[in-house]
Amino acid sequence: MEKINNYTSIEASLLGKRGHGTSKWYGAFFISVKEMFERYIVFKGFKDGSLGFFLSVMMGFYKFLTLVKIWENAKNKSVDYEKEKREILEEYN
């Protein structure tokens, strides 16, 4: 879970600077469900059985966390996420 938190924080920071994201937190839910559906149905994850389903769910969860963090970053500009990201990365080095 720490790795997912780290990677989603980094991705949210990068995507937020580029103007990506959603204006509402529930938009993140619908986008993540779409991501899960695409991975499982469109990209034929169902052919991999339970592993494909698990991967689809995890990628949807990853997308949800990333979008919620972008939304939080936009809402709470006073929080220094760059500093938090550096501290997290220092722990791994």
Lowest mean pLDDT among 17-21, 35-39, 60-64, 67-71: 17-21
Residues ≥6 apart with Cβ < 8 Å to 14: none
The total of other beta-carbon atoms located within 10 Å of residue 87's CB is 9
Domain total of the chain: 1
Res. 93 pLDDT band, cuts 50 70 90:
low
Q: To 10 degrees, what angle do helices 50-75 and 2-17 make?
A: 50
- In this predicted model, what pLDDT tens digit does every residue of 3-58 receive, in sequence order? 888 888 888 888 887 877 766 777 888 999 999 999 999 999 999 999 999 999 99
Q: Six-digit token pair at 83?
A: 């500093």
Domain range spanning residue 71? 2-92
Q: State the amino acid at position 42 in one-letter form.
A: V
pLDDT of 60 above 70: yes
11 close to 17: Cβ distance less than 8 angstroms: no
